[in-house]
């Protein structure tokens, strides 16, 4: 399969057979980290590569609209020019999103209320293709007439897709939900880990329309299995505690709750903390303590430099941390004080979406820790993007 918009759309960029893409990413990673590996005694041959399905893997999508001769199209930014490219297909998206795209266009073209001043559309679906959220974003005030039209659109999509469809209308200072949500603006997703083994584990997560979630659920499963497998080898019994920085909605916290005695999960985004609490309920997790702190505030709180009102009722002295998991933004940690804080833990799990900043941060961390495992995960096939997870152990 090859997308007809390849070379025009600013999304996919690697015009290679998928096996060649993986080979190229592996070689690039080995070259970039070669000096660090050699100084740390880690063999690049032990770097593990985890492939994705080649097509139909992406659970999130964001499009603008492009109007031409009274026809409306989805659009992406053009690779070479500063204008939008009409999009009629996107084979990297989950099948339910691909199926919904032309149905959304039909609904907009058939109804002036829905079409007028709409400028963007976001999709969020679950891997089982049983539920989808379509967010329509407008440059106008949405009223009860729009809401009724959106309800009609939602009913048609529900039937045509044979799945639960939700519509969200967004405008300035407005958010209108059209659908029967189990939890605010969320789809429910089931993840099956170690599906073909006796270790089989099932988890249920809410993924929120306005919050970050792992875009490739196939790779997310492999990332979780990688971390669980190696941490269970280090912690065969749940006798130790873990600190998580940038926990989001609990993707790693929930899956690791069976490995550790307690987990202190910190996140600065208030809505993400609420989402984590919902996911804890869904998975009957009682040993995770969510706290709204950023990484630096967490360091200050745990060192006793300052007391935080947000920690009222939480006895942080009861934690006996041995492991820290950090999943920072693309900019990495990039803060010496935080890196030195991480070095206090026996085990560091570093999840990175940008190898360049990971390499910078590891220059500090390998002064005190050895690299035990390095995983390369193909989160976005057909692009140069690389996701890495490094597990380090104190020397």
Please give the annotated binding residues, written as ranges: 214, 246, 267, 327
Q: Which ranges of 283-325 would DSSP assign to H, the alpha helix?
A: 295-302
Please say if 353 is a catalytic residue.
yes
Separation of CA 376 from chain center: 16
- Of 146, 140, 103, the closest CA to residue 123 belongs to 103
79 by Cβ neighbours in 10 Å (0-12 / 13-18 / 19+) ranks as: middle
> Integer distance in angstroms from the first to the last C-alpha of the chain?
48
Measure Cα distances from 48 to 150, 190, 363, 373, 384 in Å: 47, 26, 21, 8, 18
Q: Please, are residues 146 and 169 in contact by the beta-carbon 8 Å criterion? A: yes
- Out of 12, 90, 323, 353, which one is annotated catalytic? 353
Residues 6+ apart with CB under 8 A from 113: 145, 146, 149
Q: Please, are residues 137 and 171 in contact by the beta-carbon 8 Å criterion? A: yes
Q: Alpha-carbon torsion 12, 14, 17, 20, what sign?
A: negative
User: For residue 335, what is the DSSP state?
Assistant: -
Residues of the binding site for S-adenosyl-L-methionine: 214, 246, 267, 327
The DSSP line for 221-284 is: HHHHHHHHHHHHHH-SSS-SEEEEES-TTTHHHHHHTTTSSEEEEE-S-HHHHHHHHHHHHHTT
Q: Which residues are catalytically annotated?
A: 353
């Amino acid at each position: 399969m090859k997308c007809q918009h390849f070379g025009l759309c600013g999304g996919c960029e690697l015009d290679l057979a998928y096996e060649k893409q993986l080979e190229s990413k592996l070689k690039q990673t080995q070259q970039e980290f070669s000096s660090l590996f050699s100084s740390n005694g880690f063999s690049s041959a032990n770097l593990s590569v985890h492939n994705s399905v080649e097509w139909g893997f992406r659970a999130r999508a964001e499009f603008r609209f492009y109007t031409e001769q009274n026809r409306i199209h989805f659009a992406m930014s053009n690779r070479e020019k500063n204008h939008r490219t009409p999009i009629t297909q996107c084979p990297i998206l989950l099948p339910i999103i691909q199926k919904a795209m032309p149905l959304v266009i039909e609904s907009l073209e058939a109804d002036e209320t829905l079409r007028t001043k709409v400028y963007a559309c976001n999709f969020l679906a679950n891997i089982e293709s049983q539920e989808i959220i379509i967010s329509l974003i407008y440059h106008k005030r949405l009223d009860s007439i729009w809401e009724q039209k959106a309800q009609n659109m939602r009913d048609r999509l529900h039937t045509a897709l044979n799945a639960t469809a939700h519509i969200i209308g967004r405008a300035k200072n407005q958010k209108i939900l059209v659908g029967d949500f189990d939890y605010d603006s969320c789809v429910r997703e089931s993840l099956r880990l170690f599906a073909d083994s006796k270790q089989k584990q099932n988890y249920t997560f809410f993924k929120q329309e306005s919050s970050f979630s792992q875009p490739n659920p196939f790779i997310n499963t492999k990332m979780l299995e990688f971390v669980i497998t190696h941490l269970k080898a280090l912690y065969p019994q749940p006798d130790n505690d873990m600190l998580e920085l940038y926990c989001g909605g609990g993707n790693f916290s929930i899956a690791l709750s069976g490995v550790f005695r307690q987990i202190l999960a910190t996140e600065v985004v208030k809505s993400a903390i609420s989402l984590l609490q919902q996911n804890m309920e869904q998975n009957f997790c009682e040993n995770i303590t969510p706290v709204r702190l950023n990484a630096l505030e967490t360091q200050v709180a745990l060192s006793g430099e300052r007391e935080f009102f947000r920690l009222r009722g939480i006895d942080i002295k009861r934690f006996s941390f041995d492991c820290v998991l950090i999943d920072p933004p693309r900019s990495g940690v990039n803060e010496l004080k935080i890196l030195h804080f991480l070095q206090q833990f026996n085990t560091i799990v570093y999840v990175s979406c940008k190898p360049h900043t990971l390499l910078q941060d590891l220059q500090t961390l390998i002064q005190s820790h050895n690299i035990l495992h390095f995983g390369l995960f193909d989160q976005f096939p057909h692009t140069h993007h690389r996701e890495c997870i490094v597990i380090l152990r104190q020397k």
